[in-house]
Amino acid sequence: MRSLVRFLFWDYPRASWQYDVMVALILAFVFLTPREFFHDQPKAASVVMLPAEQGAGLFWIEPELLAGVPPAELQSRAASLLNTRFKTRNNVTRVEPISDSEQEIKGYVAFTRP
């Protein structure tokens, strides 16, 4: 029982073999535990619903989600993202890039109709 209490309260002197075993166990836990164990997933780029007029939809789409998409396919790709994310069947009427003063795209605004 005493050794369990010493283990829980980490009551071993540094550089002892017990201390080294405990450090090895902690490192093994940190590096060998799969990400799914903690339900930790990479942060997905977001799509956010913004307030809009009655019957219309307005969505902010992060630029990473539409990076590299040709301008002709922006509407269809945005519609696919929105319908997947919000489980809806909205029609995207237009997608406008939002740029800063240096013409760097900061995001997209998608306008929809049900």
Give the span between the Cα atoms of 45 and 21, in whole angstroms: 40
Q: Regarding predicted confidence, which is higher, 84 or 24?
A: 24
Q: What is the pLDDT of residue 48?
A: 83
Looking at the predicted structure, is the pLDDT value of residue 24 above 90? yes
Tokens of 101: 């003063």
Decide: residue 69, CB within 10 A, 0-12 exposed, 13-18 middle, 19+ buried: middle
Q: What is the pLDDT of residue 84?
A: 86
Q: Is the pTM of this model over 0.75?
A: no
Q: What is the dihedral of CA 95, 107, 71, 101, to 10 degrees?
A: 110
CB 47 within 8 A of CB 39: no
pLDDT digits (tens, 9 = 90+) for 30-89: 999 987 888 766 665 588 888 877 777 899 999 988 988 898 999 999 999 888 888 888
Q: What is the pLDDT of residue 44?
A: 58
In the chain, where the domains are located: 2-38, 47-113
